[in-house]
Amino acid sequence: MNDIFSNPVLAKALPEAIVETLQMVGISAFFTVLVGLPLGVFLHVTAPGGLRPMPVTNRIMSDVIVNITRSIPFAILMVALIPLARLLTGTSLGPIAASVSLSIGTIPFFARLVETCLRDVHHGKIDAAQVMGSTKMQVINKVMLRESLPALVAATTTTVVTLVGYSAMAGLVGGGGLGKLAYNYGFQRFDVTVMIVTIVLIIVLVQVIQLVGEQIARSLDHR
Amino acid sequence: MITVTDLRKVYRQGKKEVVALDGVTLSVPKGSIHGIIGHSGAGKSTLVRCLTLLDRPTSGSVSIDGTELSSVRDSEIRAARRRIGMVFQHANLMDSRTAAGNVAHPLELVKTPKDKIRAKVADLLSLVGLEGFENAYPSQLSGGQRQRVGIARALAAEPDVLLCDEPTSALDPATTDEILDLIQDLTKRLQLTVLIITHEMNVVKRVCDSVSLLSKGRIIEHGALKDVAGDLESKLAKALLPLPASEPLKGALQGGPVLEILFAGDNAKEPVLTGVARHFDIDLNVLAGSVETLGGQQFGHLRVQLAENADYDAVLAYLHQRGIGAKLAGTKTTASDAVDLDAVDLDDADLDKTQLGDAAGRNS
């Protein structure tokens, strides 16, 4: 136990690593929802039989962009996107630069989850909203998104948890954070204490995200 | 008043064309309830979707008080839809909204001020008998209460027409009666024009003033309830006043002709059978019968067997003279042939026999 507090790595590098991990997860979660949610809505609404069918555009978005991005393993996508990160953030190192590839990696994943959530909204509700004279935007906002909100919160929780895992990977290629700490000290220097502490911290982080997400989803669910 | 004229809807399925509605014409006056009854696959759902403009009809028109709905431009379609309030089979309420929130939904869409919404919602909820349930979520309400919220929501935009799509098919018999009473009461109070689409004859019997029989995309019979019920030849009458299957009695009257008799209105009060017995000095026996009050009139549908030697032509003439529907249902005497009641064959009407009375099911 004494080891944990006297370990110089933990004392000096750990707080910084925690902040970096939270930054990566926070920033990329923000952009994932910001872009992924509208993308998911678009995929659902433009699908055949949807609110505003656009077969060709939907095909291109769905098959080409989302499926191709999702089929590239994240470790490879991350490295491949380093030039883009440098272009956008001016650097290829640090949590901010890593957030670029993290966001791009999880946006299609989240968009697919959103699409599934919206598909689960009973069609009768959409008919009812249309019959009462809703515009398409009103159907999307007041029915699709509102009725699937508990499911959307659950999807966001899943995505953020995934992001924690990806952020550890991103740490290895310059992102920093707990992943880098565990790799540099725990793996390369055989510092078992650092390894255990980072693992425990990541587990705690994931548990907290899951718990908070479930609580919010439950409080929103009136079914 | 809603008028539907020669409404056609053709769907394309690959290269095949499916005619879902084949020239539907009907008209429902203000303040009355019209039932559209039909088997599943008869085109009921398509008719609903065309009336609410969820689907555009291929041709024909739908108009309310002379205002054409079916040909409006896409930009005007939402205003047109608000003239029709719709009640769904499963209410289709928003789970994330309370009862009050659901009723407020149509009002929010047109940016009604908040205080006006609150007052209107309270009025509507008390109109459907749900005071005190403002803050209940649909999951906390019973099926009948959910349907009441659905009705209140349908009325929120003050529509001229209330379109009910199988409004009671998911409810138990007691709740069905409550909801039908409510619809009937609201029709009178608000002078609504109501269309009820259903497969349940019971719904038609209880509340409808007039009825149409939809089959294979066409209306094959229609009319005021008391008119169709009084017509011995109509399929609707057989469904409205079903007779159970019966075999000719063996014994005293064995071999006698079997007649079907339909009394309507005042005739139902006359002692016709004893009149026949006395006038012709013959014996007769009732094999089956059904007596109902439909559209405020009494109806009686009987199957009687006369004595073997009876002159049934004279009896029929006697009955017709008194304005009573009657016809020969069969003279066959052997048990194997039973009563030849092609009269109750509803097959070509494409109606579900079990839903429209047992007589059809057992005799065809």
| Neighboring chain A residues of B152 at a CB cutoff of 8 Å | none
CATH 3.40.50.300 fits B2-233+355-363, yes or no: yes
A51 CA: distance to closest CA in chain B (Å): 11
Q: What is the mean pLDDT of residues A182-196?
A: 83
pLDDT classification of A76: cutoffs 50, 70, 90: confident
d(Cα A139, Cα B109) in Å, to the nearest integer? 10
> Could you read off the pLDDT of A14-62 as tens digits, one per residue?
888 999 999 999 999 999 999 999 999 999 999 988 889 999 999 998 8
What does the domain layout of chain B look like in residue ranges?
2-233+355-363, 241-334
A158 burial type by CB count under 10 A (0-12 exposed, 13-18 middle, 19+ buried): middle
> Could you read off the pLDDT of B240-297 as tens digits, one per residue?
888 877 666 565 566 778 888 888 877 767 788 888 888 888 888 888 888 888 877 8
pLDDT at B128: 94
Q: What is the mean pLDDT of residues B54-73?
A: 85
The letter for the amino acid at B263 is F
Is A135 in Cβ contact with B108 (below 8 Å)? no
Is B92 in Cβ contact with A127 (below 8 Å)? yes
> Could you read off the pLDDT of B219-240 as tens digits, one per residue?
999 998 888 888 888 888 888 8
B231 CA: distance to closest CA in chain A (Å): 38
| Neighboring chain A residues of B149 at a CB cutoff of 8 Å | none
pLDDT classification of B77: cutoffs 50, 70, 90: confident
Is A133 in Cβ contact with B78 (below 8 Å)? yes
Sheet with B297-306, edge to edge strand ranges? B284-294, B297-306, B258-264, B325-330
Q: What percent of chain A has pLDDT over 70?
A: 98
User: Which one is predicted more confidently, A189 or B359?
Assistant: A189
B321 CA: distance to closest CA in chain A (Å): 52
Q: Superfamily for B241-334?
A: ACT domain (3.30.70.260)
Phi/psi at B32 (nearest 5 deg)? -125, 160
Q: What is the mean pLDDT of residues A175-199?
A: 84
Of A122, A131, A138, the CB nearest to B81: A131
Q: What is the mean pLDDT of residues B299-318?
A: 85
> Could you read off the pLDDT of B117-133 as tens digits, one per residue?
999 999 999 999 999 99
Best residue in B92, B98, B158 for a mutation probing chain A (most A CBs within 10 Å): B92
pLDDT at A186: 78
Q: Which residue of B has its CA nearest to A125?
A: B92
Best residue in A120, A132, A147 for a mutation probing chain B (most B CBs within 10 Å): A132
- Strand segments, DSSP code E, in A164-204 are none
Alpha helices in A81-191 (DSSP H): 82-89, 94-119, 123-131, 136-138, 146-147, 149-170, 178-181
Q: What does the block give as tokens for B323?
A: 């304005």
Q: What is the mean pLDDT of residues A150-179?
A: 90
pLDDT classification of B332: cutoffs 50, 70, 90: very low
Query: Of the given ranges (B5-9, B59-63, B305-309), which has the lowest mean pLDDT?
Result: B305-309
Of A130, A131, A147, the CB nearest to B95: A147
pLDDT classification of A184: cutoffs 50, 70, 90: confident
d(Cα B8, Cα B60) in Å, to the nearest integer? 6
Q: Is residue B123 within 8 Å of residue B131, measured between CB atoms?
A: no
d(Cα A128, Cα A133) in Å, to the nearest integer? 9
Q: What percent of chain B has pLDDT over 90?
A: 40
Q: Is residue B144 within 8 Å of residue B178, measured between CB atoms?
A: yes
pLDDT at B230: 81
Is A130 in Cβ contact with B82 (below 8 Å)? no
> Could you read off the pLDDT of A89-131 as tens digits, one per residue?
888 888 889 999 899 999 999 999 999 999 999 999 999 999 9
d(Cα B62, Cα B3) in Å, to the nearest integer? 6
pLDDT at B343: 35
| Neighboring chain B residues of A222 at a CB cutoff of 8 Å | 95-96, 137-139
Is the confidence at residue B335, as pLDDT, over 50?
Answer: no
Phi/psi at B320 (nearest 5 deg)? -60, -40
Is the confidence at residue B67, as pLDDT, over 70?
Answer: yes
ipTM of the complex: 0.86
| Neighboring chain B residues of A125 at a CB cutoff of 8 Å | 92-94
pLDDT at B248: 60
A27 CA: distance to closest CA in chain B (Å): 30
Q: What does the block give as tokens for B272?
A: 């016709």
Is the confidence at residue B138, as pLDDT, over 50?
Answer: yes
Is B157 in Cβ contact with A147 (below 8 Å)? no
Q: Does A43 touch chain B (CB under 8 A)?
A: no
- Look at residue B189 and give its three-state secondary structure: helix
Task: Give residue A82's region: left, alpha or beta (phi > 0; psi -120 to 50).
Answer: alpha
pLDDT at B284: 83
Chain B residues near any Cβ of chain A (below 8 Å): 52, 54, 78-79, 81-82, 84, 86, 88, 90, 92-97, 105-106, 108-110, 137-139, 153, 156-157
Q: What percent of chain B has pLDDT over 70?
A: 87
Of B52, B54, B78, the CB nearest to A135: B78
